[in-house]
């Protein structure tokens, strides 16, 4: 991150129902919202039975992102966070769409897991509310998923993301806007079944207050209050009246809810069914509605990175503790990585890049976590845990990058493994992996002694290592390891030379 904090920060949430953007000025650590944009794109409606995102929906989304891009295109990358959620997690052709979407925005887009989405939603809600010691249940209904979080202050404690949202439930149970008591009961039953495994975790006696955080919940609260069915957010009595009203109508056009945004109407019934099922399953009587949501959480997370409180670094330390890594050994490897990068910094931009250094340090901290499972093939176990774990602060792409580096840090080296990484990581990651491989190799004996004053250069496909005179002859094991490493690299078209 830059030494001087940026003056403008922005966050974009590519949700399954709406796309949201928030732009804030940052002065002396204080945020001021200067721009908000929201467009109902209904991305989840574009998924077919095979989870392929149709072209019409893609074009509608890209037109929206062109408009968003005009506002944020010139803001530096490290001052912007853009995330995709449930539909982009699910769509089989998300990769092709993301290439075009990133061109429209001129910034990278990160796909986040449902659990990471829940964490960020909680951050956004906590930021928008006055801090208190209460245990909060936070609920957020998106187009394709619904998140439930229990937390206190700005710390989430329990997080779940369920595969149901206002778009998907509306499309499945209220096709083309048709309503009936039977359809509402079926939609509610579906949501109750999704919630059933987590009922005990989130039930009423585990928290002090319930807070809703999404357009669906705000819309429901507005309808209830305007109708006089509730005078304080969303209540169980008010929901029962709204459910009865929905069940008496044959089509959404008969609902006669002028206070409801017409854009919200096609997905309203699905949202009501999810809320109704949640109140019923968890024993909720009343829920207030907050302004903060995912995009505000993204801004808070970005500020952490700007002010050196990167959640990802905390997660790495937590994972390292959980898998009982040798922290002194990791520290020695990081020291040698720094020596290598300093020597390569004049020739290669990645050797100076703070993000590259950060990922290499994380890789050094976590490369041995797999030993806690089995020593044989431990690098594969390490990579699997990192790619598939719920790692707070990390996007899916972050985890795949880190797993790819760790997966290739020993034994066979195959540069083609990095081909599918997004740019510029597809070009940088093979070099970062080489740096990690050499640093790990030079510390294989795990001794505390000082490393020799070695020199390194990488020229095209040749890697030159030069050690002080006689050092290699006095270090026969390292010499043998370098000979073996030269063999591994040779099969990848690289030549390792050392003297």
Cα separation, 154 vs 276, whole angstroms: 27
Cα separation, 351 vs 338, whole angstroms: 9
Encode pLDDT of 97-114 as tens digits: 999 999 999 999 999 999
Cα separation, 402 vs 384, whole angstroms: 10
Cα separation, 230 vs 211, whole angstroms: 15
Yes or no: say if 360 and 436 are a contact pair by the CB < 8 Å rule: yes
Structure tokens at 290: 């907050």
Number of residues written out for the chain: 499
Q: Which pLDDT belongs to residue 447? A: 84
Yes or no: say if 101 and 72 are a contact pair by the CB < 8 Å rule: no
Residue range 59-65: mean pLDDT, rounded: 98
Cα separation, 16 vs 164, whole angstroms: 11
Residue range 269-279: mean pLDDT, rounded: 98
Residue range 40-46: mean pLDDT, rounded: 96
Ramachandran angles phi, psi of 139, nearest 5°? -125, 135
Yes or no: say if 5 and 27 are a contact pair by the CB < 8 Å rule: no
Which stretch of 8-22, 124-138, 210-224 has the lowest confidence by average pLDDT? Answer: 124-138
Q: In terms of DSSP H, where are the helices of 91-214?
A: 94-105, 114-128, 166-173, 181-195, 199-202
Tokens 């003297």 label which residue?
499
Question: What is the gyration radius of the CA atoms in the chain, in angstroms?
Answer: 26
Strands 286-289 and 495-498: unpaired
Any bridge partners for residue 140, and if so which? 147
Closest to 307 in 3D by CA, of 11, 29, 83, 9? 29
Strands 146-152 and 80-84: unpaired
pLDDT at 133 over 90: no
pLDDT range class, residue 4, cuts 50, 70, 90: confident
The answer, yes or no, to whether the previous bond of 424 is cis (omega within 30 of 0) is yes
Q: Which pLDDT belongs to residue 66? A: 98
Residue range 9-24: mean pLDDT, rounded: 98
Encode pLDDT of 488-497 as tens digits: 999 999 999 9
Mean pLDDT, the chain, rounded, equals 96
pTM equals: 0.95
Any bridge partners for residue 26, and if so which? 31
pLDDT at 195 over 50: yes
Encode pLDDT of 73-97 as tens digits: 999 999 999 999 999 999 999 999 9
Dihedral (CA of 91, 95, 101, 106) sign: positive
Residue range 31-41: mean pLDDT, rounded: 96
Strands 80-84 and 110-111: parallel
Yes or no: say if 484 and 466 are a contact pair by the CB < 8 Å rule: no
Cβ atoms within 10 Å, residue 375: 10
Phi-psi region of 254 (alpha: psi -120 to 50; beta: other; left: phi over 0): alpha
Tokens 């937590």 label which residue?
318
Q: Which pLDDT belongs to residue 2? A: 47
Structure tokens at 366: 């976590």
Yes or no: say if 481 and 470 are a contact pair by the CB < 8 Å rule: no
Dihedral (CA of 225, 227, 228, 234) sign: negative
Encode pLDDT of 255-265 as tens digits: 999 999 999 99
Cα separation, 40 vs 399, whole angstroms: 30
Dihedral (CA of 142, 144, 145, 146) sign: positive
Q: Domains in the chain, start-ordered, CATH in brackets?
A: 8-112+296-303 (3.30.420.40), 130-289 (3.30.420.150), 310-449 (1.10.3210.10)
Q: Which pLDDT belongs to residue 28? A: 86
């Amino acid at each position: 991150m830059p030494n001087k904090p940026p003056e403008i920060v922005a966050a974009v949430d590519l949700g399954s129902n709406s796309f949201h953007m928030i732009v804030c000025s940052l002065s002396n650590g204080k945020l001021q919202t200067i721009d908000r944009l929201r467009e109902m794109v209904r991305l989840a409606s574009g998924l077919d039975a095979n989870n392929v995102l149709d072209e019409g929906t893609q074009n509608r989304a890209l037109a929206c992102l062109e408009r968003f891009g005009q506002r944020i295109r010139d803001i530096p990358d490290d001052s912007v966070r853009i995330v995709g959620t449930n539909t982009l997690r699910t769509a089989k052709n998300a990769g092709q769409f993301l290439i075009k979407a990133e061109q429209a925005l001129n910034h990278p887009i990160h796909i986040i897991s449902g659990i990471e989405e829940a964490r960020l939603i909680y951050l956004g809600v906590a930021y928008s509310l006055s801090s208190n010691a209460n245990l909060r249940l936070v609920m957020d209904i998106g187009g394709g998923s619904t998140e439930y979080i229990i937390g206190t202050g700005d710390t989430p404690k329990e997080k779940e993301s369920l595969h149901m949202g206002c778009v998907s439930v509306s499309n499945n149970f209220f096709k083309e806007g048709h309503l009936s008591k039977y359809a509402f009961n079926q939609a509610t039953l579906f949501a109750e079944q999704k919630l059933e495994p987590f009922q005990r975790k989130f039930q009423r006696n585990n928290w002090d207050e319930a807070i809703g955080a999404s357009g669906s919940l705000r819309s429901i609260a507005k309808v209830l209050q305007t109708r006089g069915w509730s005078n304080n957010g969303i209540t169980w009595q008010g929901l029962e009246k709204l459910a009865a009203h929905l069940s008496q109508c044959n089509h959404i056009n008969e609902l006669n809810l002028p206070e409801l945004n017409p854009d919200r109407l096609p997905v309203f019934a699905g949202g009501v069914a999810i809320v109704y099922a949640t109140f019923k399953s968890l024993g909720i009587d009343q829920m207030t509605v907050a302004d903060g949501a995912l995009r505000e959480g993204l801004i808070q997370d970005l500020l952490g990175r700007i002010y050196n409180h990167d959640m990802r670094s905390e997660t790495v330390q937590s994972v390292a503790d959980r898998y009982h890594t040798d922290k002194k050994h990791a520290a020695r490897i990081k020291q040698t990585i720094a020596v290598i990068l300093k020597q390569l910094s004049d020739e290669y931009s990645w050797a100076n890049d703070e993000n590259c250094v950060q990922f290499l340090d994380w890789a050094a901290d976590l490369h041995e976590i797999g030993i806690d499972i089995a020593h044989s093939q431990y690098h594969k176990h390490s990579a699997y845990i990192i790619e598939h774990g719920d790692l707070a602060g990390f996007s899916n792409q972050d985890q795949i990058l880190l797993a790819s580096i760790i997966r290739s840090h020993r034994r066979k080296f195959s540069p083609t493994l990095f081909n599918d990484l997004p740019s510029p990581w597809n070009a940088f990651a093979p070099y970062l992996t080489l740096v990690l491989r050499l640093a790990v190799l030079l510390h294989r004996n795990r001794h505390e002694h000082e490393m020799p004053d070695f020199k390194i250069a990488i020229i095209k496909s040749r890697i030159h290592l030069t050690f002080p005179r006689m050092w290699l002859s006095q270090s026969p094991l390292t010499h043998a390891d370098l000979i073996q490493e030269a063999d591994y690299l040779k099969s990848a078209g690289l030549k390792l030379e050392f003297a």
